[in-house]
Structure 1
Amino acid sequence: MADKLKITLVKSTIGAVPKHVKTVEALGLKKVNKTVEMPDNAAVRGMIQQVRHLVKVEEI
C-alpha cells in the first residue's frame, strides 16, 4: 500500500444520496476537480469505496 492517496472529486454531488454527500465532505472535497491528499488506511479506503463513482484516486 502507498503512504498517501490523492483523491479528486470528478462528479458533482448534486442529486447524490445524502449519505454519499456527507462522505465526500468528510474526505475534504467541496468542489468538482478539487484534490486532497489523505493517508492510505482502511477508514479512508472504505470512504472511497462508498463514493467510488464520484471520485478518482491515485496512489502517491
Structure 2
Amino acid sequence: MNHRGPDHVGVYDRGNLLLVHFRLSILDLDPRSNQPFTSASRKNVCVYNGEIYNYKKNSR
C-alpha cells in the first residue's frame, strides 16, 4: 500500500478510543466513502473492512 497510496487516511480519536482507516480508492472515488463513518451527532462511529457484493445500483 505504501507504493500505491493510500488515497485517504481517516482518524477518530476520543480519549481511550482510536480508530484509523487507510483506504485505496480503486472503484469508488466518492469522498462520502471515506472512513471512519460518524453519525450526525458523532455519537456512533463505524469502520468497515470489506466489500459489499450484489448491491443495487441507483437506477437514475
- TM-score scaled to structure 1, two decimals? 0.28
- TM-score scaled to structure 2, two decimals? 0.28
Higher helix share: 1
Kindly indicate whether structure 1 or structure 2 has the higher relative contact order, using CA contacts under 8 Å at least 6 residues apart.
Answer: 1
User: Which protein shows a greater Rg?
Assistant: 2
